[in-house]
Structure 1
Amino acid sequence: MNRIILLLVFGLFFSCQNTAQINSKLKEVINADPIQVPLENGKAKAYFASGCFWCVEAIYESVKGVDEVINGYSGGHTKNPSYESSNTGRTGHAEAVEVIYDPNIVGFSTLVDVYFASQNPTQFNGQGPDRGSQYRSIIFYQNDEQKQIILKKKEALTKKLKGKIAAEVYPFQKFWVAEDYHQNYERLHPNNGYIRNVSIPRLKRFQAKMPEVLKKGGH
């Protein structure tokens, strides 16, 4: 019996120690200086995490001014995260999207509005049925102007909903592109059970909230 108790104590100690190390690494990420991504052919990039990236990809691709959305991982402290490793919650990464857009058609401020309108902003560590730190909500900023836009909108939403908003605000550091089979998932697998029962309903709820930002002809 004493041996079992001793093993449990050691297990708890190393578990707490490992958690402390992860938290320490995440603090370094959160406190880092943001990296500004330069325009490329007149197009800008923005980064968001809001639950399953299959859902978020479809949402942003329905917005006019958005050229492309890429699924990947961001916000963590490890290099080259994979779907399997990020799902353990130990890498610190969240499923995220890279939104490539024309700033002459749609601004960063509108993309943040899309972000909040397309999720349950008060759900922590996940969206809908997807739970865990890898599905947490994060908005990434690349400069102080973007940071202030995010903070003001988050504050306004907090007052409106009279509750705490789940979205974390991180300085952008690195976006890791996800595996090929995760890209354009909603378009390529329209009959997938998750897509039909989770992604498409979430997309339609957003489209009903912000019809003014949608591309003509629909998604």
Structure 2
Amino acid sequence: MKMAFQHMSLDVVFEEVCIEKREGPRTEFWDISTFQTQEQWATFARVWYLLDGKMQPPGKLAAMASVKLQGLHKPIYHQLSDCGDHVVIMNTRHIAFSGNKWEQKVYSSHTGYPGGFKQVTAAQLHQKDPVAIVKLAIYGMLPKNLHRRTLMQRLHLFPDEDIPEDIRKNLVEELPQPRKVPRRLDEYTQEEIEAFPRVWSPPEDYRL
């Protein structure tokens, strides 16, 4: 009885092979496998993100960039795994601080030698190096371990919109700015100005 079952199974397999040779392979199984393969590639691939830092606070930029650099947004994230993406930030020269932080915020450093302690304000540091403030903000957001130096190598900062072509061609997605930038009055069209609701319209014979 057991031998009969084995012979019947071989016959069924042989029949399936003959049908596949005549009609071609069954595609319903291949479609699922291909989709899962592409999904896996997309999960493990390193994506290049673009972020515009114009009129944005450095802390907001650092919070968004640190998530992408560490790979916290991926389902395969682990503390000991290196699955982060690349982040390209442009217009770091045009970042914004709230209040009077340009003069109040102080950056300190020490060379380790006597008399090597130095302090500069945010305005002085930004004038000397337009990418230093954003770089220090992101560096402070990353975990304090041996992975931090590797994560910083995937951070690309540019003071203006001039991005090299070899980096520009790798960009996949532009992240939304963390803070909405208000438009100036001269950036509105005449139709938008006329369509804006008026609180009070002066009469024709009104004089100032």
Instruction: Output the TM-score relative to the length of structure 2.
Output: 0.26
Q: Which has the higher strand share?
A: 1
Q: Which has the higher Rg, Structure 1 or Structure 2?
A: 2
